[in-house]
Amino acid sequence: MAGAAQSGEPKPATAARIYDYHLGGIHNFPADREAADAVAKLFPLVPALARNNRAFLRRAVRHLAESGVRQFLDIGSGIPTAGNVHEVARTIVPDAKVVYVDLDPVAVSESLEILDGDERSAAVRADLRDPDSILTHSQVRRLINFREPVAVLLIAVLHFVPDDEAAVDAVSRLCAPLVPGSFLAISHASADGLAEPRSDDLAVAKDLYQRSTTTPFHLRSRPQVERFFAGQELLDPGVVWLPEWRPAPDDPTDFTDRPALSAGLAGVGRVR
């Protein structure tokens, strides 16, 4: 049952379920809602940040599908509720294959329930910090052919790997088997460009988030996010604020006038 702990034990908050709550989903527990509401009280724009991040995901997937990509590896996917990768991709490429990867067992369990009967999609539990466990997973190998272009999606997940070198190494290893014409899409939390009081608020919210959940959190600058795309061709307009990456008519309008308030950087790179 969505939103209820099957074991009867209280469930600690996790990033995947907090994100689901901010998007208006039902796949979350009381601890997730409490943590989300506490952060949103200090930083009221958080639900809008989640909406804008999801909008970037939609735009990126549409573009990649239109570019001919038929295979998507969504790492740190959370729960594939309405408007997620397989739905968006298949409006353009009906036979698109998608593997969702998350560390949260509840997110994976909910994903498997949602994807039941879908032979072209799978959800697996694995850790971004251990790329080999993802690349060699039987379900990944069943659906993803690395001899053909693949889109690796790291949407709002790398900021949960606080060690910079570990994060860069994980991305490099995930991209190592990708053939030319593959893509890497990233969104990442950042405080670049925010006024000092807002930056302080974000730091407080970040601290509260880390104390309320089992997941660490680390903001990065634009140059640090650009580093993840080393050796790739960054698509226009480069690494920019979430609302600035190829905006579409159906996007949220929360940060149209002040995109830096989205507190999220986004970019897409092509493997050469």
From first to last of its 272 residues, the chain has per-residue pLDDT tens of 333 344 456 667 877 777 778 777 777 788 888 888 887 776 667 788 888 999 999 999 999 999 999 999 999 998 777 678 999 999 999 999 999 999 988 889 889 988 999 999 999 999 999 999 999 999 999 999 999 999 999 999 999 999 999 999 999 999 999 999 999 999 999 978 665 445 455 555 556 555 555 566 788 999 999 999 999 999 999 999 999 999 999 999 999 999 998 989 999 999 99
Burial class of residue 42 in the structure, from the number of CB atoms within 10 Å of its CB (0-12 exposed, 13-18 middle, 19+ buried): middle
- Domain assignment present for 30: yes
CA distance 147 to 179: 6
- Domain assignment present for 63: yes
User: In CATH, what number is assigned to the domain containing residue 170?
Assistant: 3.40.50.150
Cα maximum dimension of the chain: 50
The strand pair at 264-270 and 233-234 is best described as antiparallel
- Domain assignment present for 103: yes
CB 156 within 8 A of CB 19: yes
| Residues in a beta bridge with 183 | 151, 270
* Number of domains within the chain: 1
Q: What is the pLDDT of residue 196?
A: 47
DSSP 192-254: TT--HHHHHHHHHHHHHHHHHBSS------HHHHHHTTTTSEEPTT-SEEGGGSS--TTS--T
- Domain assignment present for 8: no
CA atoms within 13 A on the CB side of 168: 13
Range of the domain at 94: 15-270
Q: What is the pLDDT of residue 151?
A: 98
Q: 199 is written with which tokens?
A: 């930056």
DSSP 52-77: HHHHHHHHHHHHHHHTT--EEEEET-
| Residues in a beta bridge with 50 | none
- Domain assignment present for 229: yes
- Domain assignment present for 142: yes
Q: What is the pLDDT of residue 159?
A: 93
